[in-house]
């Protein structure tokens, strides 16, 4: 993000008024490689293609807030790699990390990684260091520390079904696992900030928290996420959870979240009524069914409906309900932007 965009984002989240309606998208490897006509593996392996793809997106849509912007990532493999998971790569699909924890007792043997040296983490940092001068030359800066959340990482390490069962049957071992991962996350955030002085935001992504009930949320989610967000003490504290988000929405203030990116299956009014006016909402046009449909009239119609249904007093960064999906075209994004402009007279 440019200095003006970043300052406007901070102002907007604090309740300030802008002279335009913000549009922002979370973009990363599910969408970017295909949009730029390269393979997923090329995007991950080539610094040159990573840079060319990201700067092309920024220059094609100069008025959009791209979040986090110039995201250095390897899909869902980034954090599990630091713990030692075996990574499986594909030419055109996202990679995946194989389970590391075979049974519940393995948790006690899990060592906290060194964020400076382990897995793919040094490659994440080095790519940004390599391109930081060019990012600045283009008028942008590295704004966000980024991490998957504790339950998300835990699900990669032990399996989603196994984690869900462990929450109910082995709470003590589950807390030990979440403690190890949370301490790792805090160190990973601190290390990113020590490498890039321009970082003033934090984005945490965790869909697993959308699959558990109120009681379990209070025990296994809120304390760890609150610790992560409060100790980071950043101006922008963004949570991405595009699974079921109703329980999550009711705990955003407790977790010190000030931007929430949520599922398109919930209306903006529904989330606003639960989360309250102090949380900025990032959403929520369906990313696959609408944005990736290649039907620009359908995109405009969906934006129009969501805009008209938005409750008074809601602070909204107009976006999709999640990250940008594979197959979304330049025309669909322009249709989204144009419809917001038409509705607001901008």
What pLDDT does 92 receive?
Answer: 85
Residue 132: in which H helix or E strand, if any? helix 121-137
CA distance 24 to 27: 9
- The alpha carbon of 59 is separated from its chain's Cα centroid by a whole number of angstroms, namely 21
The model's pTM is: 0.97
User: What token pair was written down for 209?
Assistant: 């928290």
- Helical (H) or strand (E) element with 179: helix 171-195
- Helix (H/G/I), strand (E/B), else coil: 83: helix
Structure tokens at 66: 């791209």
* Residue ranges for the chain with pLDDT beneath 50: none
Q: How far apart are CA 252 and CA 274, in angstroms?
A: 9
What does the pLDDT read at residue 346? 77
Give yes or no for a contact between 24 and 66, defined as CB atoms under 8 angstroms apart.
yes
What is the rounded distance in angstroms from the CA atom of residue 1 to the CA atom of residue 24? 10
- Which of 104, 121, 118 minimizes the C-alpha distance to 177? 104
Q: Check residue 78 and give its pLDDT.
A: 97
The residues spanned by each domain of the chain are 3-344
**What pLDDT sits at residue 126?**
98
- Residue 236: its pLDDT value, please? 98
- Domain 3-344 sits in CATH at 3.20.20.210
Rounded distance, CA 72 to CA 286, Å? Answer: 25
196: Cβ–Cβ under 8 A, 6 or more apart, which residues? 128, 132, 142
Q: How far apart are CA 309 and CA 289, in angstroms?
A: 19
Residues 263-320: tens digit of each pLDDT: 999 999 999 999 999 999 999 999 999 999 999 999 999 999 999 999 999 999 999 9
H or E element, residue 156: helix 150-158
- Contact in structure between 89 and 46 (CB atoms under 8 Å): no
Residue pair 181/150 in contact by the 8 Å Cβ criterion: yes
């Amino acid at each position: 993000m440019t200095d003006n965009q970043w300052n406007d984002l901070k102002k907007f989240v604090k309740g300030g008024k802008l002279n335009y309606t913000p549009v922002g998208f979370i973009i990363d490897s599910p969408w970017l490689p295909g949009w730029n006509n390269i393979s997923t593996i090329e995007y991950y392996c080539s610094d040159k293609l990573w840079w060319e793809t990201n700067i092309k997106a920024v220059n094609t849509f100069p008025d959009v807030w791209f979040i986090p912007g110039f995201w250095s990532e390897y899909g869902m493999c980034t954090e599990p790699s630091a713990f030692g998971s075996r990574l499986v790569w594909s030419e055109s699909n996202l990679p995946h990390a194989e389970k590391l924890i075979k049974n519940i007792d393995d948790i006690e043997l899990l060592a906290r990684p060194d964020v400076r040296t382990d897995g793919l983490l040094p490659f994440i940092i080095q790519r940004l260091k390599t391109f930081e001068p060019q990012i600045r030359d283009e008028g942008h800066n590295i704004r966000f520390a980024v991490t998957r959340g504790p339950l998300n990482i835990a699900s990669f390490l032990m399996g989603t079904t196994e984690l869900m069962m462990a929450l109910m049957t082995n709470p003590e071992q589950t807390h030990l696992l979440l403690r190890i991962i949370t301490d790792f996350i805090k160190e990973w955030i601190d290390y990113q900030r020590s490498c890039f002085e321009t970082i003033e935001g934090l984005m945490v992504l965790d869909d697993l928290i959308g699959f558990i009930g109120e009681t379990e949320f209070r025990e296994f989610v809120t304390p760890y996420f609150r610790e992560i967000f409060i100790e980071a003490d950043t101006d922008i504290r963004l949570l991405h959870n595009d699974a079921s988000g109703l329980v999550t929405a009711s705990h955003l203030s407790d977790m010190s979240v000030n931007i929430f990116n949520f599922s398109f299956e919930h209306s903006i009014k529904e989330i606003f009524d639960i989360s309250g006016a102090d949380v900025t909402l990032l959403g929520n046009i369906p990313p696959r069914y609408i944005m990736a449909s290649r039907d620009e009239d359908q995109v405009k119609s969906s934006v129009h409906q969501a805009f008209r249904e938005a409750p008074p007093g809601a602070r909204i960064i107009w976006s999709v309900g999640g990250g940008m999906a594979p197959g979304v075209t330049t025309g669909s994004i322009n249709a989204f932007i144009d419809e917001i402009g038409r509705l607001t007279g901008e």
